[in-house]
Chains A and B, each alone.
Chain A
Amino acid sequence: MRSQFYIPVDGWLARVDVRAKLFAMLALIVICAMWGNWIFLAAVLVLEHIALLSTHIPANKTLKVWAFFLPIMLIVAITMLFTVALPGNTVWNLNGWQVSDATLTMTAVVALRIADIAFAVFLMLFTTSRASWISGMAGLGLPYNACAAVANAIQFLPTYAATVHDLVLTQHIRGRYARIGKHNPFTRTAAWCSAHIRAIIAAPAHMRYLDRSRSIAALAHGAHINRGSAKRTYLHPAHMRLFDWLLVLLAIVCVALVVVMMTVLGW
């Protein structure tokens, strides 16, 4: 839990109720998955970046998301260009390998969809703290223990990454690869791989130990206390404001509009 996706900055999206944000995110994912219009998908991507900027998410965090998903998008796009052959006007013809305008459009749609869905998820993850996740899910009627388990599961990847990072650092501090010089790229790469592999293997045991320590602490602070008929409370209980309702309404309208455009107008 030392590391999390959440970025503690004071932005408008961080203040939106988790339930409204979750609904909007799911709506966005659904319409991106449904409507294969590349102009719409590109517009969504631009809007997502505007949202990230306006809610004060540091640019390096956005770039990290791109750094992870861009290679995936490229691999998918290249694979599609080689394997999918849709009828249409030929755009490229190279020694028998033809790419039609329809294939190119479909490739762009799939790549944009990946980016749109990834950024929709990260908009949610970057702007929602663990406490907000818990109070938001409690607002949906889930018991605290389930909320805490889901919130911990959401933070699993950053926690795992932080544990691996710490273990690599500890190996370096303790001198495991101290004798490897800085001028030989092969030995340096081997040392880097070795340190990371060892850390990746050791990380689950460390995380289990930390989880156990934290669950003991939670119990010692009354996580399973007998309250009788009283309900657990929250320092900042989830609360839907007018803006949150408007966001939900906007999400519903957007989904409805997409359905209308697809079915009635045939776009």
Chain B
Amino acid sequence: MTDVITVMSLGWQYASTHGTPIQALRDVNCYVAAGKLAGIVGPTGSGKTTLGQALTGIIPHILDGTLTGFVRVADMNVKSTSVSNISSKVGYVPQNPVDLFVTNEVENEIAFPLENRGVAPDEIRARVDEVLAMLHIEAFRHRDPRTLSEGEMMRVAIGSAIAAEPDVLILDEVLAVLDENGAQDLYNILERMLARGAAVVMIDLDTRWMREHADNVFLMVGGEIIRSTGREIFTREASLLESVGVNIPRAERAPLTIAQLEPEQTADAIIEFDHVDYLYPRSENDDSPQLQDVNVRIPRGAFVGVVGPNGSGKTTLLTMINSQILPSRGRVLVDETDTRECGVRRMAREVAYLDQDPLHMMLTRNVRREIEFAPHALGIPSEEVNKRVNALIRAFNLYEIEDSDPIALSAGQNRLVALAATLASQTPILVLDEPVAGLDYRLKTRFMTMVRELNDQGITVIMASNDSELVERYCTHALRLDAGRVVDFGPLRPLQPTAQAARKVR
């Protein structure tokens, strides 16, 4: 069978404005045949995304740097073919689609590649209908994709990439933000694509599907492919994969078991949602409420995992805690203060918030200053700030990028900087929206351990996550949302009286 992807001796060095250029890829060789699924796995910062970009032509045509070696995709030499012409046969779903939508309406976003190819309008309409149905996003047809939840945005990005039925599909960390239904829709699409002879390259840290379906697996470390095998790598070399940060789930994820919350457990509530409804402004969204009658009391010192399908209202709930949005009905009390009376500005003393898109939280052009920003702003003495910042730089191994501009970093590094910057403030409440999506297992564990240590010191943590395993492992409570309603809220395991007492320290 002929290879649709041929990569030989590929090297890529990013041009750097801060002295030494960064060697992102070294002597990469890989081959993928038509109708095959190739998985690219490896730790955060190992060059997976860079390799994906080299297959789309973004490298070397758009990003600055030096390319060596040879890349051929769908009979096109990447070096001598423009990105747009490569896209005639290659579909690409980037890691973070929020800033990458070209249009203001979901149906236009999916139609865009077809319009560029000159497909007849009737055919475009039929294909858009088909794609919307495949991804179960018909209801968002006329919505601005930027107003959707991250998982829904990812579905739109997938729809746009598959609309023109490419010969090669490259998916970069898409599973991290998709819920179970979204992932299943994607698997169905991939099965159909593979059956019609398209090649799929899946760059992901979630190896569940790859483990059963991948024909080729490439393990990348430090910009090199150190293993090029089949899916047997997940059984034969599991310890190697885990040692570099690739998690191999042992069994199917069991649903979370959420116990009944006793009234006395919420007697000392730090956050209270009192019959809260939230309706998006009409101009931005449809008329259905995003949150409906949310009535929850979060105990002081709890570590709450907010779970639920994409678009169930997790982010909306989180943004209410620090007054970013106010309830349409009902009230939210944070330490007995109504969020209506205390705006975002003053709420920053109580709540540190991490957005699901870390780049949107960056305010400086230097990693160290970014981490120092909040504690300095909150008036913490310089000595203490330095102590905290140094500890975080050490914990996340940010020495090499300490003086870099956050905008110039990779998505994974950006997330680490944002995590460190959020942890540095040590406010009584920590709100984290999908904090570890796209991070490798080692970094995920390191971050979550730090959050749990802060929680043990009495800091209340509210974390939205699609990863029920993570919630089960680290959280004390879980809150399950579905279509804007609280379905379940309670402890994940019985709290020991001593632990409860410790959590009340602050």
Contacts and interface: CB of A to CB of B under 8 A. Distances in A.
B446 interface: no
B407 interface: yes
B346 interface: yes
A249 to B, nearest CB: 27
Contacts of B82: 219, 224, 226
A228 to B, nearest CB: 9
A209 to B, nearest CB: 6
A87 interface: no
A182 B421 CA distance: 26
Contact of A224 (B84, B101, B105): B84
Given A216-B58, A233-B120, A236-B121, A222 B344 contact: no
B345 interface: yes
Given A170-B363, A173-B322, A176-B377, A219 B104 contact: no
Given A218-B102, A221-B112, A222-B88, A174 B363 contact: yes
A188 to B, nearest CB: 9
Contacts of B237: none
A221 B324 contact: no
Nearest to A61: B283
A222 B92 CA distance: 11
A166 B359 CA distance: 12
Contacts of A242: none
Contacts of B493: none
Nearest to B342: A182
A129 B105 contact: yes
Contacts of A216: 58, 62, 83, 100
Contact of B113 (A166, A171, A214, A222): A222
Contact of A233 (B121, B360, B363): B121
A76 to B, nearest CB: 30
A196 B490 CA distance: 42
A204 interface: no
Contact of B104 (A1, A230, A233): A1
B504 interface: no
Nearest to B81: A226
Contacts of B112: 218, 221
Contact of B102 (A4, A171, A214): A214
A264 interface: no
A93 interface: no
A256 to B, nearest CB: 36
Which of A7, A61, A182, A233 has its CB near the most chain B CB atoms (within 10 A)?
A233
B378 A175 contact: yes
B425 interface: yes
A213 interface: yes
Contact of B105 (A131, A172, A178, A180): A131
Which of A209, A219, A223 has its CB near the most chain B CB atoms (within 10 A)?
A219
B103 interface: yes
B431 to A, nearest CB: 10
A96 B425 CA distance: 65
A166 B357 CA distance: 13
A94 interface: no
A143 interface: no
Interface string B280-291: 001100000000
Given A169-B324, A173-B348, A220 B104 contact: no
Given A8-B283, A216-B100, A232 B118 contact: yes
B349 interface: yes
A7 B284 CA distance: 8
Nearest to B112: A221
Interface of B: 56, 58, 62, 82-85, 87-88, 92, 94, 99-105, 107-108, 111-121, 124-125, 128, 142, 144, 146, 160, 164, 282-283, 322, 324, 342-349, 353, 360-361, 363, 373-374, 377-379, 407, 421, 425
Closest 6 CB pairs of A and B: A175-B348, A222-B116, A217-B100, A230-B118, A235-B111, A178-B348
Given A176-B363, A218-B112, 5 more contacts: A175-B348, A175-B425, A223-B116, A235-B111, A235-B121
Interface of A: 1-2, 4, 6-9, 58, 61, 129-131, 144, 166-167, 169-180, 182, 191, 202, 209-210, 213-214, 216-227, 230-237
23 contacts: A2-B144, A61-B283, A130-B103, A176-B348, A178-B345, A179-B377, A179-B379, A180-B346, A202-B363, A210-B99, A214-B100, A216-B100, A218-B102, A220-B83, A220-B94, A222-B87, A222-B117, A223-B116, A227-B116, A233-B115, A234-B115, A235-B108, A237-B121
